[in-house]
Chains A and B, each alone.
Chain A
């Protein structure tokens, strides 16, 4: 099973990303998936979490996600107050939306840090700093289980029509940006 934790602020689409990843993995992938937000009322700007679980067999676990294989941070300012690597498994990957390079981050643990300026991509493709789909594209580039095609199909299914085209461009833009670095 793969567990992904998404860090965002209320209103940035963190849970939408978690849910789209779930759709990509299950409806359009060969897996089962589960997605849920940190439960409770949220206000814009407050730190929120999203979770995605995927597995090649049915997921029956209904407890919270305590350890994860991937952490995705949509808003780096969160890192001032939230310990984003808590529960990230040894050797796990953390994907951060930032202009800085991976060496700038000193985490207490053996993690693989990947950075991407998703805000820049979002501003270009969407005209606003909603980085969730760009980060989805980045995720597609750094994981083995869920490919970009599934994510693009998930956007067609899970987003309103007016938003699909530009969000898919954001996904592809981020995907290529990471793949080129690799």
Chain B
């Protein structure tokens, strides 16, 4: 091996190391956890208040609505007002749609119900999807009154 050859090799090695050192992962931006306008809009699509003061009944209504929509109830937590459910995008069994519903009592005998839906790994941001869900939920809460 000639002297020039080994010098070149050392230079290449140094170059590689310099590149690697520079390629550190980018730092998270300070706005990472700050709410954006789009998120606020999405939150309003996802939430609705109902004239109800009984949380248990509201949660049973949510569960019944999800079952009517063909969802599998995976988890429910009464004290926290949480329901998690999922379904296959039938007839296509490779796609999964998952929802988390939170039920929280508000002041003045009202109940805030918020639903987050994801399709595979992507959040659903279509307001119509949430409108459809709340239409079913209203029906189920109404029927639940007996």
Chain A complexes with chain B: no
A residues adjacent to B (C-beta < 8 A): none
Residues on B close to A: CB < 8 A? none
